[in-house]
């Protein structure tokens, strides 16, 4: 799988509704998982929120989204997006991670995630949020 770069939008409990809307506009296949499916450490009322949703369109667009649980802080609309880097080339993606962290702030270290991939989150020195997901990467 080639490495891809795509937008990742965060919502306050409306990710399911929003992604279904975007699917109705753009077409394609939509997959979603809740926090409860992965037994994520969230409040009981947040178990049905979307932990990850991905829309793959016939035009080749990829759009990802999730809801923001309370423990991750306040979500501010208008600044509720990130840039996602994902793929299976461990060395390539870790190289990007290392460079993006220079002068930035790591909010979640790049390490094994409950879904089996390696995943990390950071804010670069320009204030842009990044997500890095390495498919099936061994830690």
- Answer whether residue 121 shows pLDDT above 90: yes
Q: Which of 15-19, 122-126, 130-134 has the lowest mean pLDDT?
A: 122-126
The domains located in the chain, with CATH, are: 4-134 (3.10.180.10)
Q: Each residue of 27-75: pLDDT tens digit?
A: 999 999 999 998 878 888 989 999 999 999 998 899 999 998 888 878 7
CB-CB contact of 51 with 11 (8 Å): no
Model confidence over 77-108: pLDDT tens digits?
A: 777 888 999 999 999 999 999 999 999 999 99
- Whole-angstrom Cα distance, residue 94 to residue 46? 31
């Amino acid at each position: 799988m080639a490495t891809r770069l795509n937008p990742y939008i965060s919502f306050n409990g409306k990710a399911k509704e929003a992604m279904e809307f975007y699917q109705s506009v753009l077409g394609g296949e939509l997959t979603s998982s809740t926090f409860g499916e992965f037994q994520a450490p969230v409040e009981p009322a947040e178990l049905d929120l979307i932990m990850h949703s991905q829309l793959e369109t016939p035009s080749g667009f990829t759009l990802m989204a999730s809801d923001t649980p309370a423990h991750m802080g306040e979500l501010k609309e208008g600044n509720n997006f990130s840039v996602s880097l994902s793929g299976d080339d461990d060395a390539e993606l870790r190289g990007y991670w290392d460079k993006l962290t220079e002068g930035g702030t790591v909010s979640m270290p790049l390490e094994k995630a409950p879904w089996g991939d390696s995943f990390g989150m950071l804010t670069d020195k320009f204030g842009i949020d990044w997500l890095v997901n390495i498919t099936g990467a061994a830690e």
